């Protein structure tokens, strides 16, 4: 009997009339129970929010420790430690272009991509603190920590 009902369901499921009816029923339910659905989503997210943040922090720590070869992560420029201050930097300066080709915005999604693809190093990546990363971005690819001529001297 169970086998027959599975076969019947598969046959009905592929019927366009059945699919359209199910869509309409689902749509009506969502309209009728909109507040309940929103409350359920908010409740579920608030319960899972701490786990999500913890998992994202662990993912970032894994990626940064791998690319910095340091147990706590370390900036390749100024040697500051602490995962909270650090980020991934594309050495060639093509990070935005690289993430676009992957269809990623950055942050956790990019860290997840790196870890799931066994930490690729093409294009070459390094760990920098946010200060060095931004300084490198606005200073034509050079961080003031590494630039002996100090390209910002004209403003001091």
Q: Each residue of 116-143: pLDDT tens digit? A: 999 988 888 999 999 988 888 888 777 7
Cα–Cα–Cα angle for 44, 48, 51, rounded to 5 degrees: 175
Number of residues in the chain: 156
From residue 152, alpha-carbon distances to 12, 68, 140 in Å are 71, 27, 11
50: left (phi over 0), alpha (psi -120 to 50) or beta: alpha
124: left (phi over 0), alpha (psi -120 to 50) or beta: beta
Q: 95-102 vs 108-116: helix axis angle to the nearest 10? A: 70
98: left (phi over 0), alpha (psi -120 to 50) or beta: alpha
Question: What pTM does this model have?
Answer: 0.64
Q: How many whole angstroms separate alpha carbon 18 and alpha carbon 83?
A: 53
Classify residue 79 by burial, with Cβ atoms within 10 Å: 0-12, 13-18, 19+.
exposed
The pLDDT score that the predictor gives to residue 155 is: 44
Please give the average pLDDT of every successive group of 10 residues along the chain, which has 156 residues. 71 81 89 88 78 91 91 87 90 85 88 92 89 86 67 46
β-partners of residue 126 are 89
Closest CA to 66 of 84, 36, 88, 50: 88
């Amino acid at each position: 009997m169970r086998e027959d009902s599975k076969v019947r369901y598969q046959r009905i499921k592929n019927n366009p009339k059945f699919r359209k009816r199910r869509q309409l029923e689902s749509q009506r339910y969502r309209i009728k129970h909109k507040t309940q659905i929103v409350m359920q989503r908010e409740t579920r997210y608030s319960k899972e929010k701490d786990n999500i943040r913890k998992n994202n922090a662990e993912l970032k720590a894994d990626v940064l420790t791998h690319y910095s070869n340091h147990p706590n992560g370390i900036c390749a420029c100024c040697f500051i430690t602490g995962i909270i201050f650090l980020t991934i930097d594309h050495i060639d300066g093509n990070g935005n272009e690289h993430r676009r080709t992957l269809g990623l915005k950055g942050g956790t999604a990019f860290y997840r991509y790196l870890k799931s693809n066994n930490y690729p190093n093409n294009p070459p990546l390094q760990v920098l603190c946010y200060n060095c990363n931004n300084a490198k971005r606005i200073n034509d690819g050079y961080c003031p920590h590494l630039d002996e001529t100090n390209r910002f001297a004209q403003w001091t």
